[in-house]
Amino acid sequence: MDVKDISRRMSSDWNRRARSNPRYYVALGHPGQSWQDFVGSGEDLVGAFEKELGRILSPAAHEGWRALEIGCGPGRLMLPLSRRFGEIHGVDVSAEMVRLARANLASVPHAYVHAADGTNLVQFNDEFFDFVYSYAVFQHIPRREVVLSYLQESRRVLKTGGVARMQFNGLAEGSGKHDTWSGVRFNAREIAEFARAHDLQLLALEGAHTQYMWATFLKRSAGWYNSVQKTAGEAAQASIRRITNADGSALAAPARGPYAAFALWAEGLPPGADLNTLRIYVGDREAKLTYISPQKNRFQQVSGILPQGLAAGLQPVRLMWAETQLGRESFLRLVPPGPEVPRIVSVTDGVYVGAGPTISTRTIRVSLDAARRPEDLRVTLDGQPTRRMSLLCTLPDIPRFEINFRLPPGGSAGRKQLEFRLGSRYLGAFEIVVAPHPFWWRSRLHPSELYQALRRFLWERNERLRSRTDGSSYTCS
């Protein structure tokens, strides 16, 4: 299938989804979700985007800035973000989504929505935008070349000094075929390599190995990456001022486990420092850097994940840039990690995962942390056992699992109580509201979506059967 065929397929599929239930397909919300709740479901995303605006290297006030959303859907994020820009644009491959967005943004005179072919940004001039962003779009594109084209186009339309904030699916590749719902995946190394090759300063790469991997790029002029390697000596005055646990102000961090991460405050980092040029060594091992904050009073925060295999105790920390050590080494105290305690993180509908505790499909999705044998999780609904449908590792570092269960047949609608047990350990109770819609799927999902869901379920089932055959517990790697 060539790029034009992919464009037509994406347009057709997303037009159908927009006519069927746009709020579900955009934010996995409940069919009856109000517009206010739909927009409110993106508040955390809007806050994260606004945080990145402090990086924009523009002499103009934000009233003069232009922003672009790739894959704007019905305008859920454009509406709240419009208050931060003098002009905001959105593109979408679905003409039906464009129609909805234009109606929803009719009261915002500086918001513009454009139909696109889903592969490029040809309607915009070079160096046109101060900020480009995209969420839950690239993970639905079935070809890598299309995503990479969007990244190249984003660089083209960004002003030098402009910022792009993009989300990718960072889960490991499965054995299934990519389509317009379950699209291509990227790993952190590929994103870092793209940034180097295209003179993009990589300032954040968070959530590696998860479905929601985020990257922040700042556009530099052509040839920037090669030139920055030659100026390492100019940065020798930078220094480490403080190192703490990434989750607080404690001057110590666990030596291993899900919270083995740090936040380092550096003074005088060179303007060209990014995740491709900066290195931090703890002991004799390189840490995995995830974030460099905007500068404030010459200080910047650098966050990272501790390397594996470090012993508890006082460990030296060295800050390196282009093979040159910046300032003197500092120290971080590593402590033995506490015991792993399995816990239930969240419970949602198995399909409408953005609908909170309301269960419409007689299935639930449970997020479980720190379980070495997640297959041992048992769930009851008012004392009646549920049936496990699928199990998937979504965050190896913790580890975190998503486990789907089917509720017992029959039963009335209303408030119900779920109880969770992992082996002999009681994990607590959770209240849900079972909605009286036993035939939700007949009117809400298209057969192709049911087919795609079945294909993913069968792949997960085969993985479980494989682990049972060799006698091992479910692995998360």
CATH (domain of 21):
3.40.50.150
Is the same domain home to 193 and 274? no
Is the same domain home to 283 and 417? no
Q: What is the pLDDT of residue 443?
A: 45
Residue numbers of the domain that contains 187: 3-222
Q: What is the pLDDT of residue 446?
A: 54
Nearest to 360 by CA among 443, 449, 430, 438: 438
Amino acid letter, 77: L
Is the same domain home to 143 and 248? no
Is the same domain home to 404 and 275? no
Q: What is the pLDDT of residue 323?
A: 77
Q: What is the pLDDT of residue 477?
A: 59
Start-to-end Cα distance in the chain: 32
Give how many domains the chain has, as a whole number: 3
Is the same domain home to 269 and 395? no
φ and ψ of 411, to 5 deg: 85, 155
Nearest to 282 by CA among 253, 257, 258: 253
Q: What is the pLDDT of residue 57?
A: 85
Query: Does 135 fall in a domain?
Result: yes
Concatenated DSSP letters of 123-156? TS-TT-EEEEEE-SSGGG-S-HHHHHHHHHHHHH
Kindly report the CATH number assigned to the domain that includes residue 237: 2.60.40.10
Is the same domain home to 79 and 167? yes
Query: Does 466 fall in a domain?
Result: no
Query: Does 152 fall in a domain?
Result: yes
Q: What is the pLDDT along the chain (477 residues), one digit of tens a residue?
A: 688 899 999 999 999 999 988 988 998 877 677 888 888 888 889 999 998 998 998 877 788 999 999 999 999 999 999 999 999 999 999 999 999 999 999 999 999 999 999 999 999 999 999 999 999 999 999 999 999 999 999 999 999 999 999 999 998 887 568 899 989 999 999 999 999 999 999 999 999 988 899 999 999 999 999 888 766 556 567 899 999 999 889 999 999 888 899 999 999 998 889 999 999 999 999 999 999 999 888 899 999 999 999 999 999 999 998 778 888 999 999 999 888 899 999 999 988 887 778 898 889 999 999 998 999 999 999 999 999 999 988 888 788 999 999 999 887 889 999 999 999 999 999 999 998 864 444 445 555 555 555 655 555 555 455 444 555 566 665
Gap between the Cα atoms of 449 and 323, Å rounded:
50
Is the same domain home to 41 and 123? yes
Q: Of 302, 335, 368, which residue sits at a domain end?
A: 335
Amino acid letter, 272: G
Gap between the Cα atoms of 378 and 344, Å rounded:
12
Query: Does 193 fall in a domain?
Result: yes
Q: What is the pLDDT of residue 176?
A: 66
Whether the model clears a pTM of 0.75, i.e. scores above it, the answer is yes
Cα distances (angstroms) measured from residue 26 to each of 56, 99, 262, 343: 28, 15, 34, 29
Is the same domain home to 329 and 360? no
Kindly report the CATH number assigned to the domain that includes residue 429: 2.60.40
Is the same domain home to 213 and 116? yes
